Amino acid sequence: MKTPAKIVIVLLVVGAAAAAIVLRDNKSRNVANSSPPVAATTAESSAAAASEASAKLPKLLDLGATKCIPCKMMAPILEELKKEYVGKMNVEFIDVWQNEDAGKKYGVEMIPTQIFFDANGKELFRHTGFFGKEDILAKWKELGVNL
């Protein structure tokens, strides 16, 4: 394995571990403080409303954070999928550091987490960590969803 590849792998592992620690700390802090729920940002609310308003389509939900390294690596992939598969699949991103309730709702323990839903909203598969575009498309095919 080449040195740059090793560096990328190490960065991914470090980023994932840091994200897990932050999520765990935030979860325990929220339980201790019994703080009120954090509202979704306007962009996230708009995206959620748009995805619900669209026709029944399979959905890829990515739960992460804009400051998490593996999540940053996922962002362009999600944008590509969103553009290339308009009308065939919904792609949604939720920043669980800004919207902790979403992380709780989906039982996220580590970020990024991708959840694959069928057209009826049933969870088909869940993956944690970086997930490449080809891997995502192969997983949809494996799940029997033709995009």
Confidence of residue 51 (pLDDT cuts 50, 70, 90): very low
Q: So what's the pLDDT on residue 48?
A: 53
Q: So what's the pLDDT on residue 42?
A: 47
Q: So what's the pLDDT on residue 41?
A: 46
Buried b (16+ CB within 10 A) or exposed e, 83-117: eebeeebbbbbbbbbebbebbeebebebbbbbbbb
Q: So what's the pLDDT on residue 137?
A: 97
Question: Which residue has better confidence, 38 or 23?
Answer: 23
Q: How many CB atoms within 10 Å of residue 15?
A: 22
Calculate Rg over the CA atoms of the chain.
16
Interval 54-79: pLDDT, tens: 569 999 999 999 999 999 999 999 99
* Average pLDDT of every residue of the chain: 80
Interval 98-134: pLDDT, tens: 999 999 999 999 999 999 999 999 999 999 999 999 9
Residue 143 confidence (pLDDT) above 70: yes
Task: Provide the CATH topology of domain 3-142.
Answer: Glutaredoxin (3.40.30)
What residues contact residue 78 under an 8 Å CB cut-off, 6+ apart? 60, 62, 91, 93
What are the residue numbers of the active site?
68, 71
Q: So what's the pLDDT on residue 10?
A: 59
Whole-number percent of the chain with pLDDT over 90: 61
